[in-house]
Amino acid sequence: MEKKQISKAVINRLPRYYRYLGDLLEKDVVRISSKELSERMKVTASQIRQDLNNFGGFGQQGYGYNVEYLHTEIGKILGLDKRYSLIIIGAGNLGQALANYADFERRGFYVRSIFDINPRLVGLSIRGIEIKSIDEMEEYIKMNQVDIAALTLPKSKAPQIASDLARWGIKGIWNFAPTDLHLHENVIVENVHLAESLMKLSYKLSEKYKPADN
């Protein structure tokens, strides 16, 4: 397939298509029209057609989309046909919650190791994954393939750790620390900030349920 520039908005919608198609596959649905998909996803059929046309369409006139094929192809676009090795840095509440979530593996993301500075945590295991000392991290990264590092440590510590990770060759950072990281453009940072999502919810709630003007 020819590579062309795809807008960020389309990329942002792909995981949702992927999830819906995955649900359809689980229900043994073989094909679906853009109209049906649009009704399920509450996105217009023309939006779906436009989005999927970016990748050659995948659909056939009068047939709709082959669910398995579309799911596989979107998976490839999202890079989900590969396996990723993940490490987690910071084995506190959030780091442990991520490590405990086995479903990431279904998508090809494997948590291989967890690092922390707290000696009381080092040596413990979460779902069979050992927590190692942060002092062992450089050696570990040099000896093992690590694709993604999740940062679940205090925000004051995140920039230094992120720059160490970049220096040691990590290309993907999944950043949960509430701080912006400024790294070389070769390092791809995906920020996840639940508080920002809550603020959006709060905005929408206050817009919709504004107290009546006096």
**Contact status: 29 vs ligand NAI (CB under 6 A):** no
Under the binding rule (CB under 6 A), the answer on residue 134 touching ligand NAI is yes
Number of residues in contact with ligand NAI, rule: CB under 6 A?
25
Please, what is the minimum distance in Å from the beta carbon of residue 191 to ligand NAI?
8
Least distance in Å: CB of 160 to ligand NAI?
Answer: 8
Using CB under 6 A, pick the residue from 35, 83, 155, 182 that binds ligand NAI: 155
What string of H, E and C letters represents the secondary structure of the chain?
Answer: CCCCCCCHHHHHHHHHHHHHHHHHHHCCCCEECHHHHHHHHCCCHHHHHHHHHCCCCCEECCCEEEHHHHHHHHHHHCCCCCCEEEEEECCCHHHHHHHHCHHHHHHCEEEEEEEECCCCCCCCEECCEEEEEHHHHHHHHHHCCCCEEEECCCCCCHHHHHHHHHHCCCCEEEECCCCCCCCCCCCEEEECCHHHHHHHHHHHHHHHCCCCCC
Q: Which of residues 97-116 bind ligand NAI (CB under 6 A)?
A: 115-116
The residue of the chain with the least Cβ separation from ligand NAI equals 92
Between 109 and 176, whose beta carbon lies closer to ligand NAI? Answer: 176
Q: C-beta of 153: minimal distance to ligand NAI in Å?
A: 4
**C-beta of 32 vs 151, nearer to ligand NAI:** 151
Residue of the chain from 93, 145, 186, 214 that contacts ligand NAI (CB under 6 A): 93
Residue 180 burial by Cβ neighbours in a 10 Å radius (0-12, 13-18, 19+): exposed
Q: Parallel, antiparallel, or unpaired: how do β-strands 64-66 and 31-32 relate?
A: antiparallel
Tell me: does residue 152 bind ligand NAI (CB under 6 A): yes
**Smallest separation, CB 100 to ligand NAI (Å):** 12
Residues 165-194 that bind ligand NAI (CB under 6 A): 176-178, 192-194
- Binding region for ligand NAI (CB under 6 A): 89-95, 115-118, 121, 134, 152-155, 157, 176-178, 192-195
